[in-house]
Amino acid sequence: MRAVLDYCSGGTERQIKAGELILTEGGSTGHLYVLMDGKLEVIKGGTVVATIAEPGAVFGEMSVLLDRPHTATVRASQDSTIYEFQDAASFLIQEPAVALMLARMLAQRLNVANTYLADLKRQYAGHGTHLAMVGDVLQSMINLPQLEVEPGSDRQSDPRM
């Protein structure tokens, strides 16, 4: 994702102190973030589930793309520099190369999750434990209903313009 760094203009560079929250699980910002340097923690339900340390790593994208609240909290685990795009949807429309990079990253994450779930299904097939339901989880992921998506913004236009 280092290539994203080439697109970091038109937003705001921010210095974040260790311990500072950048986004909060359940909150909504509509912002997209890129790590310039430092180290961040991704926290879900009070548990650290990932660390972000690679310059160019993008976060906040799931909330932006799904138009839903953030699914996790992101906190600086050391002093860090991030780049923030306040109108992330417009940025992604203007920079389709970044949107494609995000799509590839998300597809890679989905592939890893599917591979892991398929492996669990194979290992626990016929055991009758709660892990036997992994097949149902995989099937439900395949058959998720498509969301209606319309270009543009849900915000009302400014009558002064």
Across the chain, mean pLDDT equals 84
Instruction: Give the model confidence (pLDDT) of 15-56 as tens digits.
Output: 999 999 999 999 999 999 999 999 999 999 999 999 999 999
Give the pLDDT score at 144: 59
With tokens 């548990």, the residue in question is 47
pTM: 0.74
Overall average pLDDT of the 45-74 stretch = 93
Give the pLDDT score at 151: 42
Instruction: Give the model confidence (pLDDT) of 88-119 as tens digits.
Output: 999 999 999 999 999 999 999 888 888 888 88
Tokens linked to 106: 């998300």
85 SS3 class: strand
> How far is Cα 23 from Cα 3, in angstroms, rounded to an integer?
23
Give the pLDDT score at 98: 92
